[in-house]
Amino acid sequence: MGGATIPEDLAADWAPRGIRLTQGYGLTEAGPNVLSLPAADAEAHPGAVGRPYATVDVCLVDPATGMPLDGEATGELWVRGPSVFAGYLGDPDATARAMVGEWLRTGDLVSRDASGVYRVVDRLKDIFVSGGRTSPRPRSRPR
């Protein structure tokens, strides 16, 4: 399951039918999977999105300072590896905002527990996709 965290009640509804759900986390810019939570681990970590795939490196970074965070922590998830995109086509400014060296800034605020399992907490930037284009989400409009 991807696109959102598996609701606990949904997992509980399917378990008696013998269907165990696997959780994933990814984004288009990181081709597309970054974290995975096998069904066997889902019950012990409800609401989590998993651990990093072997093919990617992840780092939690303090959004205010840009410094890496060790151990149990909450920060912006950064990703690097061969599946990370080369940049936004024709938009070097957006690419520069998204990348720090070889690290992709996901814009997702994520917590990591003592066992190395991650869960998405919030977004640092709000976006919406319309017609295949990503744009900032309008905050409010006067009527």
Domain of residue 35, CATH code: 2.30.38.10
Is 1 within a domain?
A: no
Is 2 within a domain?
A: no
Name the domain count of the chain: 1
Is 62 within a domain?
A: yes
Q: List, in order, residues 6 or more apart from 121 with CB less than 8 Å away.
A: 74, 109, 110, 111
Is 142 within a domain?
A: no
Is 42 within a domain?
A: yes
DSSP 3-state assignment of 91?
Answer: coil
87-131: per-residue pLDDT in tens? 999 999 999 999 999 999 999 999 999 999 999 999 987 666 666
- Which structure tokens are listed for 115? 């066992």
Euclidean distance between CA atoms 35 and 50, whole angstroms: 5
Is 110 within a domain?
A: yes
Is 3 within a domain?
A: no
Containing structural domain, residue 20? 8-136
Is 29 within a domain?
A: yes
**pTM for the full model?**
0.82
Using the predicted structure, report yes or no on whether residue 66 has a pLDDT greater than 80.
yes
Select from 4, 106, 7, 101 the least CA-distant residue to 60. Answer: 106
Contacts for 19-28: CB closer than 8 Å, 24+ residues apart: 23/48, 23/49, 23/50, 24/49, 24/50, 25/49, 25/50, 25/118, 25/120, 26/2, 27/106, 27/108, 28/85
Using the predicted structure, report yes or no on whether residue 138 has a pLDDT greater than 70.
no
25-51: per-residue pLDDT in tens? 999 999 889 999 998 888 788 889 999
